[in-house]
Structure 1
Amino acid sequence: MANQPPSLSSIQQRVWEGKLPLEIVLAPSECRTYDQADPYIISYPRVSYLPFLLPRIHAFFSSSLIEPNTQPHEGWFSFEGVPLKWHYPVGLLYDIYSGADPASKSSGGEHHHPSHSISVSRKDGEPHDDDDEVREPIPWRLTVHFSDWPDEDLVRLDPDGIVMHDAFINSVKEADFLRNGNAKGIMSLSKEDSSGLWKAVQEHDLPSYQRITNILLPPPSQPFRNVPIRIFLPLPPSSSESPSIKVVQSPLPPSIPTTTSTTTSSSTARISSPSMHPQTIGSVLHSLLPNLFPSRRTPILAKPVLHGAVVPMSAPIEEVVRSSAYCDGWAAIVICMMG
């Protein structure tokens, strides 16, 4: 019996099970001990956000802080000197900045079934099935700071978490608008469900999250109007600047027209007629980044990575978002160069 592709709900569960080992150290300039404090080590969900860790990390390093009166919400994270945007999930940040090398178990190009969405590791370093994976240097070593907030790079947080909540809900609204052509779904949620969505993200509660997002998502029989996908393209640093990220975003319908030819019965003339066909990751990348993706079917110069796994070029974009979007409803695909 042939192996069946995993269901969209089982892929979503695997996505939420994915964790990333983190080793967090206190910035040396803020540490009162000469030989540095012990690092804070944790296995953390890829779909979650770094600021949720700040109360625990602040308590952990409190005895080592030169300025003990700092507050948890004053904390921010950096990787190799680059401030990390707190409104990006930690898995996305890792895929952008870690320099992970996409690797394929298979050779000879794309071989996945067209209806097969992406597949991810149950935990970093342990891929399942025969899908492409990403080799990941772990644990990921980050630095936490509680002073010298980088105002040019990051919006400041507040003690009540309102800034972070509002940023998340605005992103959810934007995704909802693209899916439905309006934001009535998120706007019509009850107060209980609206606060429950954010609480489910904070507590990493998949059943509660699924219950509420099922209210927002159109049923499978009703296609999205547009598919919420953001493409992150790391750019090489110039001689005087740190690495930067280009974010590519465009309205993406789930189906695109193709032309088929038919022969009339009275003559040999061929008549071309348009037909609709699911838009894939490959067709999106070829359209938006043609220089990096000259082929719609085979990654030649770069590979698309989501949740630490290489996404099949043949994966329909709506299936990818339904099964593998981050908590705000967006699929965030990072472009990794090959070779």
Structure 2
Amino acid sequence: MVSLFRQLVWDGTVPIAIKLAPTSLPTSSDRLLDTYYIQAPRISYLPLLIPEIRKNMCDLVMDENAAAAVREEDWWFETENGGVMKWHWPIGLLYDAHMVTAFAAESYFPTSSSTLAAPMTLLLHLTNPPTDKLLMTPSLDTLKSSFMSQSKEADFLRWGSTRRMTSLRKAEQDGLWDGIREHNFDNFWKVASKTFPHPNPSSPSLGSTPPTPNPDGSGAGTTNDAYAVRSVPIRLFLPDSPALQDLYPPLMDNGVHATLGDLLSSHLPLLFPGGKSSQNINLHGAYIVVQGIEPPLDAEIGWLGASLAGADGWVNVCIGLRT
């Protein structure tokens, strides 16, 4: 079953409308072709879309000399309201975070996150990147380095050390990134399965002793399931706010599986005072989006970490408001 959900996450896509910034185009450009639409993989990154955008848009809009003079390292994207897109965020996270923010800004709140199917419109600039707002250049080497860093951080939170990542051979570490770059599910998970946990089909009873990693943080000698991890790599994203990150153990002190509702009511009690109660969610106007869907509040965070995490190992929870 876990492979099914991982396959669904991998196959997930979002619609993006790319518009060229008028100030980036030479006067000789063909301005009739002003928008290019892409159905982009959620687990991918904006820099990986650049070759397709250049081939199917920029090279057609500009004359040969102007197109040859364009430097891809100067490219950058922003939303229609001026928000600069982060290169190092997965496209699915960019989409979910943008849409819940856009709905809040426009006072338009969908009755369900399943209605978030409109294209995310991005304005592409070909020059003058805002280096004060971009933490990295769009080069593939820099992007790969950022991905590996995020993966190691997730690995440390899960197991208490980065040993599972650092013990991978260089060919295997390269294979992780190549799997994303080539969008090859089998090649990616052939390596990622060595670092990601597997869901545990059994549920610990009330008061049972939860499995724990070894004192050295290696996790060796324990089961490799989602409830043996030290913490689930989860980030909470609220509109126009820094991400919230903490240690989120998959089991509570009494040995019961921790749920998404437990986590939210603990860390955001004003928005989610009732934990698992969907009635309180509706009363307070808050909803959550993970990988483009609205999961139930009784979803176990251990299962989410094993099944709905991104390729970098993180479960990104976007929080929106509706009236």
TM-score by length of structure 2 reads 0.81
Moved over 4 A (4+): none
SS of the counterpart of 1:310?
coil
Match of 2:215 in 1: none
- Structure 2: state its 5+ residue gaps: 104-108, 201-222
Kept in 1: contact 2:251–2:258 (CA 8 A): yes
Kept in 2: contact 1:282–1:297 (CA 8 A): yes
Which structure has the greater CA radius of gyration? 1
Kept in 2: contact 1:54–1:73 (CA 8 A): no
Offset of residue 209 of structure 1: 1.4
Match of 1:238 in 2: none
Match of 2:244 in 1: 248
**Do residues 303 (structure 1) and 287 (structure 2) align?**
yes
Match of 1:270 in 2: none
**Do residues 323 (structure 1) and 307 (structure 2) align?**
yes
1:52 pairs with one of 24, 48, 54: 48
Match of 2:76 in 1: 76
Q: Distance in 1 between matches of 2:133 and 2:73?
A: 16
Kept in 1: contact 2:196–2:313 (CA 8 A): no
Match of 2:12 in 1: 18
Structural mapping, 1:70-219, within 5 Å: 70-80=70-80, 81-98=82-99, 99=102, 101-104=109-112, 133-157=113-137, 159=139, 161-219=140-198
**Do residues 277 (structure 1) and 260 (structure 2) align?**
no
Q: Deviations over 1:13-57 (max 9, x none)?
A: 111111112221111111234745332222111121111011222
What residue identity is the alignment partner of 1:77?
A: F
Offset of residue 90 of structure 1: 1.2
RMSD of aligned Cα (Å): 1.9
Q: Distance in 1 between matches of 2:97 and 2:22?
A: 25
Q: Deviations over 1:134-165 (max 9, x none)?
A: 21242222111111201121034265x22111
Match of 2:24 in 1: 30
Q: How many positions carry a matched residue from both structures?
A: 278
What residue identity is the alignment partner of 1:226?
A: S
Q: Deviations over 1:144-192 (max 9, x none)?
A: 1111201121034265x22111111000000000111000000000111
- Structure 1: state its 5+ residue gaps: 1-6, 105-132, 235-243, 258-274
Identity, % of aligned positions? 33
Change (3 A) 1:158 1:325: closer
Kept in 2: contact 1:55–1:72 (CA 8 A): no
Match of 2:203 in 1: none
Match of 1:114 in 2: none
Offset of residue 288 of structure 1: 1.0
Match of 1:130 in 2: none
Change (3 A) 1:137 1:14: closer
**Do residues 233 (structure 1) and 235 (structure 2) align?**
no
Q: Distance in 2 between matches of 1:94 and 1:20?
A: 7
1:292 pairs with one of 265, 271, 275: 271
TM-score by length of structure 1 reads 0.77
Greater helix percent: which structure?
Answer: 2
What residue identity is the alignment partner of 2:47?
A: P
Kept in 1: contact 2:176–2:188 (CA 8 A): yes
